[in-house]
């Protein structure tokens, strides 16, 4: 075999071969678990759920109905303002179309009709 064939066979063998070293796996798992325990202690996560429960109890006691009514009132005003805006835009569009139609008539049909009448 040539050098490149040996290298190719070695690479193919590495790609296809799968090994499981139980002892190395156990060491890795133990190391990870130990690291996670140190992280948990460092972050002091044991008392975190108590703090969250306290926050939940306080949040349940807040009454947001006044804020909700204010938001609904503002929303209603924006809806009314939107209707006024749409109506104004529609009127402007109608006026522009009427003006455009009148201009086209005055440039095309009216001179022909005037010439025909003469």
Q: Where are the domains of the chain?
A: 69-118
Per-residue model confidence as pLDDT tens digits over 30-57: 888 888 888 877 777 666 667 777 777 8
- DSSP H or E segment with residue 66: helix 65-104
Give the pLDDT of the chain (118 residues) as one tens digit per residue.
555 666 666 666 665 555 666 777 788 888 888 888 888 777 776 666 677 777 778 777 778 788 888 888 888 877 877 888 888 889 998 898 888 888 877 777 667 677 667 6
CA atoms of 53 and 57, how far apart (whole Å): 6
CA atoms of 40 and 6, how far apart (whole Å): 49
What's the length of the chain? 118
Would you call 64 helix, strand, or coil by DSSP? coil
């Amino acid at each position: 075999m040539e050098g490149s064939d040996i290298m190719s066979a070695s690479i193919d063998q590495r790609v296809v071969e799968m090994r499981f070293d139980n002892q190395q796996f156990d060491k890795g798992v133990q190391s990870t678990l130990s690291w996670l325990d140190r992280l948990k202690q460092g972050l002091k996560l044991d008392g975190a759920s108590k703090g969250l429960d306290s926050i939940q109890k306080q949040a349940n006691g807040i009454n947001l109905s006044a804020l909700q009514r204010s938001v609904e009132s503002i929303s209603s005003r924006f809806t009314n303002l939107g209707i006024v805006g749409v109506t104004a835009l529609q009127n402007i569009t109608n006026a522009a179309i009427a003006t455009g139609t009148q201009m086209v008539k005055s440039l095309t049909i009216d001179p022909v009709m005037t010439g025909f009448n003469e």
